[in-house]
Amino acid sequence: MTIPQLKPHGLWKFFDRLNAIPRPSKKEERVQAWVVELGNDWGFKTQVDAVGNILIQKPATQGMETRTPIVMQSHLDMVCQKNADTEFDFEKDGIRMYVDGDWVRAKGTTLGADNGIGVATILAILDSTDIPHPAIDALFTIDEETGMTGALGLQGGFLEGQILLNLDTEDDDEISIGCAGGVDVTSKGTYETESSVAGLTTMKLELTGGSGGHSGMDIHKGIANANKLMNRLLLVAYDAIDFRIKELSGGGLRNAIPRESHCTVVMDPSDCDAFVTCMNEEFEKVAAEYKTTDADLHWSCQESSNPPGEVLSESVQESLLLAIQACPMGIHRMSPDIPNLVQTSNNLARVHVCEGIISIQCLCRSSVNSEKDDHARSIASAFALAGLDTEYSGVYPGWTPNPSSDIVATMKALYEEKYGEEPRVIACHAGLECGILGTNYPEMDMVSFGPNIRGAHSPDECVQISSVQKFWDYLLDALQRIPVKK
């Protein structure tokens, strides 16, 4: 069965067309042009704001004119991650999708269901002629995944809706009413390289096969962080064997738990066997620790034909390895107020050391701004001890839960009526755009929901077909429950 043949046909048709268009964060021009063209073809008022967000306004259907106008919102960009052995260019190629039982997956890459299913849902409703709904502001934001700059740039007065339905969560039995804020923490420095002596051997180290995942939604799962584990292996070996790092590179996007790390080291040929033995012994411990979460974790160490060249000095190498070891990673604190909610965390997302330049990138999240700031200082302090300077950027606020909101009550009652059980009304540790949008629209009543998506931000990403149908039916009923304007 092809993707457009799935039900609901309208939603899957637009998801199929959307995924044929490359849409990396900060490079959404083609998908923006497509959405604007659709809005104009439908004859709806279509606007693009100063930063590139798109607003398509569809009038209420007959009989729904007195209902409160709503905003339906999703983001256009997607996380671009692929397996190391997959040939794919996210700036040129369309996502290669296939049906696997009750799931839609991509061949070796992220699927883009986050947040493509939300975008396709909104487009299907705009395209429809038989779905009752109040007046709709269809808001398509840009660059959610690498800074939320679209939401941050949205100005007050652009929207007319009074209730926001954000379609960007990943469990169909959840209603999200709050989220964490975040800050990008980037530590950088330079170092003088040191020439290798003659006769040394070059070794290429690879740590691959980590499960990866969303650094907010999956941080509580204890998934392996390849940057941390590579550093652990190097530190253990460094206690016993004299070697020098030539290059070190691991991870990619800030909001994805790093799955791979690669390192090139040089050493005396007489130390190679002991080095490999030491590394293998430590990796056996790592594999045992992560056998449940990262069963495919793989380690390799091979001699390379590349010349030793320039390397880190002993003092730079030692201070860097110790700083990475000291950098906090994973959960810092659970919420004392909301059961099972991660309150504060850090993702050691990217480590790059090469040719005299060190760059380390983290994403620190928290639903408490003061704690987020303090945790970011802890990260900066660790790298300051290695002589690195730290910058904070991409700061975005959290979304404070309001359990007594009218739209939350409406959505909760509808779920109980349709499915005979209570939904989970939660706050999440991921960054949703609702908190940012609320700064310029403080009176807007907001809620977020979506279908089952698994493995977001990794090549394992998939979306459940039956859950999309459930989500669609729930949304259509919700549109008819929007109350009359006050």
With residue 214 as reference, give the H or E element that holds it: none
Rounding to the nearest 10 degrees, give the CA dihedral for residues 166, 168, 169, 175: 10
Residues in the chain: 486
Q: Which of 137, 143, 144, 294 is catalytic?
A: 144
| Exposure letters 183-198 (e unless 16+ CB within 10 A, then b) | bbbbbebebebeebee
- DSSP for 49-73 reads -TTS-EEEEEPPPTT-TTBPPEEEE
User: Cα–Cα–Cα angle for 452, 455, 460, nearest 5°?
Assistant: 120
d(C-alpha 236, C-alpha 480), whole Å:
61
d(C-alpha 47, C-alpha 55), whole Å:
5
Q: Is 144 considered catalytic here? A: yes
Q: Is 77 considered catalytic here? A: yes
Q: Which residues contact 376 (CB under 8 A, 6 or more apart)?
A: 183, 185, 364, 392
Q: Which residues contact 63 (CB under 8 A, 6 or more apart)?
A: 132
> DSSP 3-state assignment of 293?
coil
Instruction: Name 187's bridge partners.
Output: 360, 390
Q: Which of 77, 114, 143, 170 is catalytic?
A: 77
Are 166 and 447 in contact by the 8 Å Cβ rule? The answer is: yes
d(C-alpha 16, C-alpha 18), whole Å:
5
Amino acid at 392: Y
At which residue do the structure tokens 């909301």 appear? 338
d(C-alpha 79, C-alpha 109), whole Å:
10
d(C-alpha 392, C-alpha 242), whole Å:
35
Residues that are catalytic: 77, 144
